[in-house]
Structure 1
């Protein structure tokens, strides 16, 4: 099994200022922070090593350094050098994620940087994040100082596309299992490479680069949303739409409307807007059945949160019909939620609506037995749905079980690393406080949740 498949949630978060903050970016002069500011990276590296079953000596042998250096980096008493970060990316199969985090830590939390790992070279280029976002919005990353020279050495071939796809697959795997803030820098670095190199590509290579860039942007929108940065999430949804249209990828273009619907619920909690964003996909004659199913699911969620059971059931029935009609035989079947089988997806949708409508029996009886498998596929999905299950138990009158599940999520770090999880916990704890006012355990859980919500 690949070491990256053993990635687990790491509680310590690296500093990651708002991606779209308007404050001016400092100069590129490196100011070394205190050594212990590397503790977040050290904890991640220790977890990666232990998850892969490797000893300190084994890792040191692979990368060509002393055992003491690996140990000191993991404990935060020694900084992580760029060459060592590059080597550890190879050992753990993390596609530049460690290098990007190390570059951010080296610059410090005042400057905002994007670390770009150049394919085929043992080098990582650091760019101003503010300049990077401006250039990406204009499609002009290739004009950024340093990047223009670096990508000039790359030849846009099918082999390069395959290498970038492999790196993206590794990062998506990491994104399911570790904190969003750990993955965002490396994803942005890949976007920068593609945006710069695609201008010198032609034909099928150019189309494939455009579509890979759209996939990266869509994943970035998820990661930024889960990290609690709604503005950045919307920025990347807009880029996804732009790049999908550029490559005539209509399925992904439709999916951006669904993503906006999701964002309306997760960041604003505004059900009418979620329904409005999803309806055009349902009305489209060209949208694949799977995407129509996901749009119908969003309409169901919105109606459930509005307390409309009949409209919710109608939308769920429509979801089921479109899922059944989707044959999953083309590239459109890979757009959207793909980590679970269709039957489990439909069950999750029904259970979520049951919870939003104030019920719970469906979630407890049918959904809870599948929670372990869901958590195994995605730690973040497991945390989100455990929080939903807590609300289901509260609706069913079992406050003790509801509080235990909420505590499990909070103590496991799920709320720290996922805005969606925090939203579901707020809903659960609000119901508990309403039905059992003055309960001391609930007050403590609320304090914990407030502390991780900032």
Structure 2
């Protein structure tokens, strides 16, 4: 749109309505109807702001290490809303970004996603399960208050903004302490997500419940320690095994597939807990059950899991062989697995000093296609565009281009919710490595200290192990640097405190 066309007409209409005293939501509704713009564009114009002015206000009100730019606002406005995918020019804003945009535009988050409400009789809005879990998981860090009730007992009130309203949870001090001690997954997820399997329920209903339970643990992986998740999941898996013994021959393969998905997630959790023996025992169990059930996708996924181990050990030849084998399977594989295979091939090539940009870009496109699909195996939902960004950054560090990785990682870390301790730990480790390779010892040490804090909160043992490489680079190059010594001492303490647990197998 040029100044003499629709944009000029839009602005004249907006200015005229504002002079007549029209409210922002009224102006936005008319702009959407007349010009077909999406809600985020409409509310920006209703506020009389350009994209650059929005970025300036955002940065002034919420300063960050990586400031927002006009381009960020453009990405959010090109995004087509809930359920839409992303592209090179369209990216979904985080929930935190939406909250802040709503404050800048003096509207609600719901308005920015779905447009202004048309009245009290509007149809109810469906909110995705992932959005619900993200909001509820933030209850422990938003608007904390402690008061004395009428009986003199201390009570805790937690509030989290949701659209125009909020969720409020009021607990006694004892309940709050117990909630923190147990991780609170059952309290923070919908009631039916962790519903117990009843003896008189049909097997089909049971399978639906088992899948919801696994999805709840996967979506809420940051809410509990690995050990707590493992204990709960192995109990459910025992129920699955018992019911399968009495199931029909038609249902038994389907139940075996569910068992394989549980075993895969338990394998990952065992790795997070530092128990590699149980990790691979569960991985082998998952692969065997997947083969038995005819789940070729799971078999390919486990092959790629072994490719990551080869990458961790610096064996780029073996990693390449496994990634290529995954893509050569005679069965069609999901786009997410094809993307992962290409990313691991790119990481293997980075070990030889080459950046496979075409392969990385191809993987990004595949990951963007499957971003909002919920009909595939739950374990594939970890393969997101953000996963692709992390692999790209790792390639840059490995190939000796750390400054490019720093830019990616800093932007990603600032967008992660504070409650996602495990994800923050992983990204901070990569950032520390990038700074160390880029010969910025203080920055590397600070990122490493942050990773140790997040690892302790998440109970993630691999993070501590991954930081040993960073420590080696720093202590060899800058042994007398104060921040380097501080990080080194903190890492030694963390290593001493880590006692890899060995969950039930």
TM-score by length of 1: 0.64
1:338 aligns with 2:384: no
Select the residue among 370, 390, 393 that pairs with 2:412: 370
SS in 2 for 1:56: strand
Question: For residues 19-58 of structure 1, what are the structure 2 equivalents within 5 Å?
Answer: 54-57=169-172
Q: Distance in 2 between the 1:228 and 1:367 partners? A: 25
Select the residue among 454, 464, 474 that pairs with 1:422: 464
Q: Distance in 2 between the 1:220 and 1:271 partners? A: 27
What residue number does 1:392 align with? Answer: 434
Q: Distance in 1 between the 2:185 and 2:406 partners? A: 41
Cα distance, 1:188 vs. partner? 1.1
Instruction: Report runs of 4+ in structure 1 exceeding 6 Å deviation.
Output: 46-52, 94-98, 329-332
What residue number does 2:230 align with? Answer: 184
Structure with higher helix content: 1
Contact 1:234 1:260 in 2 (8 A): no
Contact 2:409 2:430 in 1 (8 A): no
What residue number does 1:447 align with? Answer: 489
What residue number does 1:119 align with? Answer: 197
Cα distance, 1:449 vs. partner? 1.8
Contact 1:218 1:236 in 2 (8 A): yes
CA RMSD after TM alignment: 3.8
Q: Distance in 1 between the 2:180 and 2:375 partners? A: 45
Cα distance, 1:256 vs. partner? 0.7
SS in 1 for 2:222: helix
SS in 2 for 1:201: coil
Alpha-carbon distance change, 367 to 444 in structure 1, aligned in 2, over 3 angstroms: closer
Contact 1:221 1:236 in 2 (8 A): yes
Select the residue among 339, 357, 365 that pairs with 1:324: 365
| Higher Cα Rg, which structure | 2
What residue number does 1:405 align with? Answer: 447
Q: Distance in 2 between the 1:294 and 1:48 partners? A: 43
Q: Distance in 2 between the 1:381 and 1:349 partners? A: 13
Unaligned runs of 5+ in 2: 1-131, 142-154, 161-166, 499-505
1:274 aligns with 2:319: yes
Contact 2:421 2:454 in 1 (8 A): no
Contact 1:97 1:185 in 2 (8 A): no
Contact 1:275 1:298 in 2 (8 A): yes
SS in 2 for 1:54: strand
Contact 1:281 1:295 in 2 (8 A): yes
Indicate the larger mover: 287-296 or 181-190. 287-296
What residue number does 2:478 align with? Answer: 436
Cα distance, 1:234 vs. partner? 0.8
Deviation string 1:209-235 (CA, Å, 9 cap, x unpaired) is 222221111111111111111111111
What residue number does 1:244 align with? Answer: 290
Q: Distance in 2 between the 1:224 and 1:435 partners? A: 34
Deviation string 1:158-187 (CA, Å, 9 cap, x unpaired) is 211111122222211231343212211111
Contact 2:442 2:484 in 1 (8 A): no
TM-score by length of 2: 0.58
Unaligned runs of 5+ in 1: 10-45, 58-66, 99-116, 121-152
Q: Distance in 1 between the 2:257 and 2:310 partners? A: 25
Contact 2:416 2:424 in 1 (8 A): yes
Deviation string 1:134-179 (CA, Å, 9 cap, x unpaired) is xxxxxxxxxxxxxxxxxxx455522111111222222112313432
Q: Distance in 1 between the 2:340 and 2:462 partners? A: 17
